[in-house]
Structure 1
Amino acid sequence: MRSTRTPSAVAVVAVVVAVLTVAILSAVGGIAVAQGNTAQQTAAPQAGGEPDLDVHAPNPTLTPGQTNEVTLQISNDGELDYGSPELREAVTTARNVRVEADADGTPLTVESGETAIGSVTEDRPGEVPIAVSVPDDIEEGSYTVDVRVRYSHTYRTGSVVQERSRSTTVSVDLEVDSDARFEVVNATTDARIGDTGTLEVEIENVGAESARDANVILESQSAGLGFGESASDAARIGEIEAGETATVRYDVGFAPDAPVREYALDASVAFRTPEGLQRLDETPTLGVTPAERQRFSVADVESDLYVGEEGEVRGTVTNDGPVTAQNVVIRYAEESPNVIPIETAVAVGTLEAGESADFRLPIEISGEAEAVDRTADIAVQYRNADSELRLYEDVELLFDVSPKRDQFVLDVQQREITAGESITLDVEVTNNLDEPVTDVEARLFTDSPLDSDDDEAYVEALAPGESTTMTFTLDAESSATAKTYPVSVDFRYDDARGNSQLSDTTRVPITVVDGEGGVPWLVIVGALVLIVVAGGAVYYTRAT
């Protein structure tokens, strides 16, 4: 009996020990796992959630007969399933968002393909424009476009981050209405390069309803075409019925260096519907071509300019077209201290295209100028068909300036005077200018031993190249040494414009010879000859 009970007790004890051991180990393991999970949660906070994207069309209206641009707005109403609010954006942001629209099953055609717009958050929605082509004969109403949105996002954060890719399709309704819509029928301008003019645009309401308070807005796409100081302008039509055509006008200008070609203009019409709703219809880009620039040329340039004198530059101006230029004026535009225009502008009248006219510019050349060939800018001023003043400046003159010359040429035949005597000095005076002169007063200037009691002379007029003789008296002192002395003559006169001028001084050489009060060389020589002859006769008599 004793041996039988002993093994039973031992077995019971063993079972108890085993159960206690398992319990202890389980408790210790649970504590360890709990401590490990706590450590993990402290080291890496967790959150779970996902984006929730939706698609809207803020302005869903489509215009028939053209390709419309519709802006789709992508909003995000994300969901945070669990975790800290600070981690909300990490799991609700949609990354690498790609949008593609499809209008299958409708008369509409989506012209644009898939577009990437980056990330979309709850507080930063995304936008993507799509191009929708609408047939001209489409019925008014609502049409559904399917918009597929693909994106990536973080589903759960923590020690193990889960990434997902998602795709959703949202249906968006677009509205085709019968509002007014417009087409540009014709666009012309009478403006030319380097000038301003009027741009006329014919615009037709091809829609089914009238438009009220309509404004046609044009915007230039080139710096060569402008609306005054601006690149755009608006013209008011008011009300235009369906099927009606209206003409609007704008003041435009083309730059002087702009080429002759077609210039692009964007056109749009802002209007109100009969219900008072504001609409904007963007028409296709229109083109307009300016006329060629009005041009002039100058030829056959000649001059009679001399240093220190007034003269003229003459030439022929030609209107090279393409249209008539009214009240043409040649303006001298150069500035120089030595070349002074007496008249800065001379008129030549109205010139038809291809017609020419002669002109002359009176100019004065200063005495300090060099006798060289010169160039000068001129401008051709004219008025266009609207009597607006215009200026063509791509013209210059090339002319020569001759060296300084005497205004009067003097010729004195009698240039000898005997000491102690007086002579009449006749001076032939020739007008060396290219213009007539009047009231010519001559003055003779002398220095000792020469003198004059009659040192002035006068002639009423001298034509170019004409000569006259002016007479003065000239005295030589008896004690004058026999040699050459200068006398001087100058002239005060009026030129062809009536301006008083003073000529340069001209010197004339006068030779003084000995008179009776000097050594009688002829007598002495004659006496010597007589002495020699007499001596020879005596010698001959004695010898014979």
Structure 2
Amino acid sequence: IDVSVPENEVTPGETTAISVVVLNDGNVTSGSVSNPQLEQQVTTARALKARFEESDAPVSVSTNEQAVATLPDGSSAPLQFRLTVDGDADPGRYTLPLNVTYNYTASVDPETGETNRTTTDETFDVTLVVEETPQFSVTEVDSNARTGATGTVAVTLRNTGSEPARNATVALASGNGDLTVGGAASSSRFVDGRWDPGETRTVSYRVRAAPAAGEQRYALDATVTYENSDGVTRQSRPVSLGVTPDPEQTFSVVETDHAVRVGDEGQVAVTLRNEGPIAARDATVTVQSGTSNVVFGESASTSRYVGSWAPNETRTVLVNATAVPDAETRNYSLQATVAYEDGEGDPGQSSTLGFGLRPGPERSAAFEASDVSSTLRVGEEGELTGTITNTGEERATNLVVVFETRSESVSPLEREYSVGSLDPNESATFAFDVEVTGSANPGPRQFTLRPTYRDDDDRQRQGESFDVRERVRPQRDVFDVDVANDTVPRGSTTLLEVSVTNTRNETLESVSAAMFADDPISVDDGDAFADSIGPGETRTLTFEVSADSGAITKQYPVELDFQYDEADGDTQLSGGYNVGVSVTQPEDDGGNGPPLALVGGVVVLVLVGVGLYYRYGR
């Protein structure tokens, strides 16, 4: 048995398999002419086993033992052994002892067939040659790769071999899909020129850690392909290194505030913090609405430029948002995202940062009435007045107070009173001319008034109605009548001066008065006229009355009726005003009858009166 190693060159740090060829070159010392098959029996090795024994060589053999069942004469069997050369192995020749055991038939008796078997144990020296080659090891790894972003991994390698490498290419490969190199599983960098033993070179790669990547160490392999001193292209063994991605670049919403109301535009303030680990450059914050009830102008999103943003620094972004008129006073979902560039100019974007916005109640004008009073009276036209105040938060333009109450006995001459415009907390007066019919009942009445206006968007709006309670006073005489000289001597004539006062709140025009009386009082001149009597004004009207000579001395009633025109042009009649006229004893009536001359005078007067009656009465 003999052994050989056809390829015995290895490199430091290499793990490889070498092929040990076992050759059977048996010989026969005494053969059989009659039975040549017996020679094959004695030249065949059986149950052959081979294993490497321990040695001082810088080699570790990981294959324990290899076996061959039979190895006939002239045959060979390749045995594979896997071994690893120490990385710091010096170039040179090394001997490894290979122990081989087998058994064979030492002799056969041709006559009887009896065999003599024996076992042989031999040790062979196997020579390995550790070549002078470039060897590489990782001395430093610098990484700013972040979860969910692209970063740079700089790998520094040293040529730890004994020979320079030329025109090297360093390939960095990842075996995990969560960490990619150059957008793929591997990427290469060219190292130009001569790479001498002991020299270090640094190569950089763009590495992306997926958002699902954890903060754990990911294995990468660096392999150097180079040209040796003979110009032959060789490849180094892979050198392992690890990269742990930095935490994902994150931002957080610290605080939000807004002044958005239903049906109105307001400012939204979003305060965000850069949670790190890096500074963001050219940062832009985009605020997105998840509902059509909250919009930014006519868009569902809006953006604001922030610029440079250091770790742990907070920035407040101001945007204008509108809650449409159909929006409700409830929380609506909004999201903020931050787009930025890292220190190497690579773009990045934060995860979605959610926050809520609850619009305030719709901004509107609100109104309150105060100082309400009236001069309403049955049968008269009066006034309902008051003060209206805008107690809301919005300016009311073209404000009109509408008299909504409808009644057959109480009705305004005009149902709308134009106030004008009222700013918040501003007040103005309103007044309605109200007519109360004579059939109305006096007493308290409730009137409903409603303000209408235009808001800041020129929309017609209605405010809440408000009720006012005012008293309708009982009906009163149109005139207050008083007689200053209310006596007439019996059988005489006198002039009555009647003071007539207008009790209405309006001027009465073309006031005609007629006086009527029954016997024994007669009205000689019963008509009087005043062109006008103002509110509260008193005019004196004169009438001529007489008392019969047979009248008893006492007070008698006299009736006055009036016809007048109101301010609106209507002509009205007002009657039934009674005043008293007292008949008195004549001052010179001392006897049983009047003197003869007086009787004659009376007769003449009567005749003259009869003549006048006849003249004007027929």
Structure 2 vs 1, CA of residues 492 and 367 (structure 1 numbering), >3 Å: closer, same or farther?
closer
Q: SS in structure 2 opposite 1:386?
A: coil
RMSD between aligned residues: 4.8
d(CA) in 1 for partners of 2:435 and 2:181?
Answer: 87
Using the aligned pairs only, state the percent identity. 20
Q: Give the number of the structure whose residues are more often helix, by fraction.
A: 1
Structure 2 vs 1, CA of residues 429 and 277 (structure 1 numbering), >3 Å: closer, same or farther?
same
Q: Which of the residues 314, 319, 326 maps onto 1:356?
A: 314
Q: Which of the residues 11, 25, 29 maps onto 1:63?
A: 11
Alpha-carbon shift at residue 245 of structure 1 (Å): 1.9
Q: Which residue of 2 aligns with 1:344?
A: 302
Q: SS in structure 2 opposite 1:467?
A: coil
d(CA) in 1 for partners of 2:420 and 2:65?
Answer: 103
Q: Which of the residues 447, 450, 453 maps onto 1:487?
A: 450
Show CA shifts across 1:34-54 (max 9, x none): xxxxxxxxxxxxxxxxxx999
Task: Give the alignment of 1:248-397 within 5 angstroms.
Answer: 248-342=203-297, 344-393=302-351, 395-397=353-355
Structure 2 vs 1, CA of residues 508 and 137 (structure 1 numbering), >3 Å: closer, same or farther?
closer
d(CA) in 1 for partners of 2:67 and 2:388?
Answer: 104
1:188 aligns with 2:126: no
Structure 2 vs 1, CA of residues 371 and 104 (structure 1 numbering), >3 Å: closer, same or farther?
same
Structure 2 vs 1, CA of residues 99 and 410 (structure 1 numbering), >3 Å: closer, same or farther?
farther
d(CA) in 1 for partners of 2:100 and 2:405?
Answer: 120
Give the structure, 1 or 2, with the largest relative contact order (CA under 8 Å, sep 6 or more). Answer: 1
Residue identity matched to 1:263: Y
Show CA shifts across 1:89-139 (max 9, x none): xxxxxxxx998652656724233133789999xxxx999561222463433
d(CA) in 2 for partners of 1:413 and 1:127?
Answer: 114
Show CA shifts across 1:460-482 (max 9, x none): xx5xxx42235667566778997
8 A Cα contact 2:58 2:89, kept in partner? no
Task: Give the alignment of 1:397-408 within 5 angstroms.
Answer: 397-402=355-360, 404-408=361-365
Q: SS in structure 1 opposite 2:254?
A: strand
Q: What is the total number of aligned residue pairs between the two structures? A: 417
Q: Which residue of 1 aligns with 2:602?
A: none
Structure 2 vs 1, CA of residues 326 and 442 (structure 1 numbering), >3 Å: closer, same or farther?
farther
Task: Give the alignment of 1:222-261 within 5 angstroms.
Answer: 222-243=176-197, 244-261=199-216
1:136 aligns with 2:88: yes
Q: SS in structure 2 opposite 1:371?
A: coil
Query: What stretches of structure 1 of length at least 5 have no aligned partner?
Result: 1-51, 78-96, 151-164, 494-499, 527-544
Q: Which of the residues 111, 115, 132 maps onto 2:61?
A: 111
Alpha-carbon shift at residue 63 of structure 1 (Å): 1.3
Query: What stretches of structure 2 of length at least 5 have no aligned partner?
Result: 25-46, 71-76, 103-118, 407-411, 481-618
d(CA) in 1 for partners of 2:50 and 2:22?
Answer: 15
1:220 aligns with 2:174: yes
Show CA shifts across 1:51-106 (max 9, x none): x999977x754212x242226499999xxxxxxxxxxxxxxxxxxx9986526567
Task: Give the alignment of 1:496-515 within 5 angstroms.
Answer: 500=457, 502=459, 504-509=461-466
8 A Cα contact 2:296 2:320, kept in partner? yes
Relative to the length of structure 1, the TM-score reads: 0.61
d(CA) in 2 for partners of 1:440 and 1:53?
Answer: 116
1:409 aligns with 2:366: yes
Structure 2 vs 1, CA of residues 206 and 515 (structure 1 numbering), >3 Å: closer, same or farther?
same
Structure 2 vs 1, CA of residues 144 and 513 (structure 1 numbering), >3 Å: closer, same or farther?
closer
8 A Cα contact 2:187 2:205, kept in partner? yes
Structure number with greater Rg is 2
Structure 2 vs 1, CA of residues 327 and 134 (structure 1 numbering), >3 Å: closer, same or farther?
closer
d(CA) in 2 for partners of 1:366 and 1:239?
Answer: 69
Structure 2 vs 1, CA of residues 400 and 229 (structure 1 numbering), >3 Å: closer, same or farther?
same
d(CA) in 2 for partners of 1:145 and 1:228?
Answer: 47
Alpha-carbon shift at residue 188 of structure 1 (Å): 0.4
